[in-house]
Amino acid sequence: SSRVVEIQSQMSERAVELLGLPEDRPCLLLDVGCGSGLSGDYISDEGHYWIGMDISPAMLDVAVEREVEGDLLLADVGHGIPFRPGMFDGCISISAVQWLCNADKKSHSPPKRLYRFFSTLYTALARGSRAVLQLYPENSEQLELITAQAMRAGFTGGMVVDYPNSAKAKKFFLCLFVGASGTLPKGLGTECADGEEIHQAKFTNERTRFRNAKGKSVKKSRDWILEKKERRRRQGKEVRADTKYTGRKRRPRF
């Protein structure tokens, strides 16, 4: 329907904007889950080039019929991104990455598929570039699973949430940096009435801050230690106070 097309192209526009591309030259972008090439149309209109990947032959047939300008590849991104290192100046994906969280076959492991996708994507992107993945997460566990695998693959960045207070307009964009960590862009509609900003999820390369695939904190990480101390306190045991040094690694001079 035209409404879907409209929302799709708005999200493509926003994703490309969040890529922060250089204005003085055309870029080559990867469109993950490109479908019938609607995001690609916007990329072409902006004077950039693109290659689209999708798992659906039917959707790609529509893209071919529509004579889109990008090159198209039928592939499952859960098997990895099959392009040479540093080839792309950026990657966008509209409403696709959450599908990697589903195990359609017995052999499918969502964490493994996500890691394969993110690690090969990281390689295929030029240093200093970004990937902006708009997704519809089912729940916070799914967001955490996706984010943790992206960090494990070497990305930094975080979730940009547009219109967080609106049930309808709320949109999640996973904004990932390759190499030099940029500043996370602000989500649209995040200024509250009194000018206060809503805090957004941020993360850095401290990968231990993320829980592992089973939802437990990584062993010996600060979170793990704090949780353990908290359990001991609840059991009425004597526990040292938490400080900024809790869980911090010692310098290797001992």
pLDDT digit string, tens, across residues 47-73: 999 999 999 999 999 999 999 999 999
| Pair 235, 113 in one domain | no
Q: How far is Cα 17 from Cα 11, in angstroms, rounded to an integer? A: 10
SS3 132: strand
| Spatial distance between the Cα atoms of 69 and 13, rounded to a whole number of angstroms | 17
* Integer Cα distance of 111 and 117 in angstroms: 10
Q: Which pair of structure tokens corresponds to residue 18?
A: 């969040």
| Residue 203, pLDDT score | 46
**Rounded Cα gap, residues 9 and 233, in angstroms:** 52
Q: Specify the pairing of strand 88-94 against strand 71-74.
A: unpaired
Instruction: Classify residue 244: in a domain, yes or no.
Output: yes
200 within domain boundaries: no
pLDDT value, residue 86? 97
- The CA distance from 65 to 211, in Å, is 44
One domain, residues 153 and 222: no
pLDDT, position 1: 73
**How large is the greatest C-alpha to C-alpha distance in the chain, in angstroms?**
71
Q: For residues 226 and 162, state if they share a domain.
A: no
Residue 100 domain-assigned (yes or no): yes
Same domain, 39 and 118: yes
60 lies in some domain: yes
Q: Same domain for 25 and 135?
A: yes
Query: Is there a single domain that holds both residue 166 and residue 220?
Result: no
Verify that 28 and 149 share a domain, yes or no: yes
Q: Does any domain span residue 184? A: no
CB count in 10 Å sphere of residue 98: 18
Does residue 201 form part of some domain?
no
Distances (CA, A) of 172 to 15, 19, 95, 137: 10, 14, 10, 8
Q: Environment class of residue 35 by beta-carbon count within 10 Å: exposed (0-12), middle (13-18) or buried (19+)?
A: buried
What's the structural domain count of the chain? 2
- Measured between alpha carbons, how far is 190 from 165 in angstroms, rounded to an integer? 8
The verdict on residue 191 lying in a domain is: no
Domain that holds residue 235: 216-249
Are 161 and 238 members of one domain?
A: no
Is the domain of 139 the same as that of 233?
no
138 lies in the same domain as 222: no
Record the pTM: 0.74
The CATH number that applies at residue 71 is 3.40.50.150
Give residues with Cβ within 8 angstroms of 91, minimum separation 6.
29, 30, 31, 32, 121, 124, 125, 129, 130, 131, 132, 133
The pLDDT value recorded for residue 215 is 57
- Domain membership of residue 91 (yes or no) is yes
Residues of the chain with pLDDT under 70: 105-107, 180-181, 191-217, 219, 253-254
Q: Is residue 148 domain-shared with residue 51, that is, in the same domain?
A: yes
Tell me the one-letter amino acid at 131. Answer: A
Candidates 136, 150, 125; CA nearest to 203 is: 150
**Residue pLDDT, tens place only, 74-85:** 999 999 999 999
Q: What is the structure's pLDDT at 216?
A: 62
Query: Do 161 and 225 share a domain, yes or no?
Result: no
Burial class (CB in 10 A: 0-12, 13-18, 19+), 48: buried
How far does Cα 87 stand from its chain's mean position? 19
